[in-house]
């Protein structure tokens, strides 16, 4: 999560990560991240399932993007 991005989600090849705009709607963030993974990076299709990296590993999302129900149950 970062401030001042020019779009909702941006692939950062130097850090091998996707930077996400802080405060962006979760639905839009997930759509943008999925598009980057699938279209730009050639990740295996995972629409509706867990997001996967182009190497096949599951993508870990920032805690700020987890549904409030999950974070309430965990805490």
pLDDT band for position 70 (cuts 50, 70, 90): very low
Residues 20-68: tens digit of each pLDDT: 888 888 888 888 888 888 888 888 875 567 888 888 888 887 777 776 5
Alpha-carbon dihedral sign for residues 50, 54, 57, 60: negative
Rounded to 5 degrees, what are φ and ψ at 9? Answer: -140, 140
Rounded to 5 degrees, what are φ and ψ at 17? Answer: -150, 170
The three-state secondary structure class of 51 is: coil
- Rounded CA-CA distance 60/50 in Å is 9
Q: Which residues pair with 12 in a beta bridge?
A: 17
pLDDT score for 68? 52
């Amino acid at each position: 999560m970062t401030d001042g991005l020019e779009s909702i989600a941006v692939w950062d090849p130097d850090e091998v990560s996707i930077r996400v705009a802080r405060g962006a709607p979760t639905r839009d963030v997930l759509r943008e991240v999925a598009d980057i993974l699938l279209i730009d990076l050639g990740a295996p299709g995972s629409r509706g399932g867990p997001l996967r990296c182009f190497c096949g590993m599951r993508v870990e999302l920032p805690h700020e993007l987890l549904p409030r129900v999950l974070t309430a149950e965990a805490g």
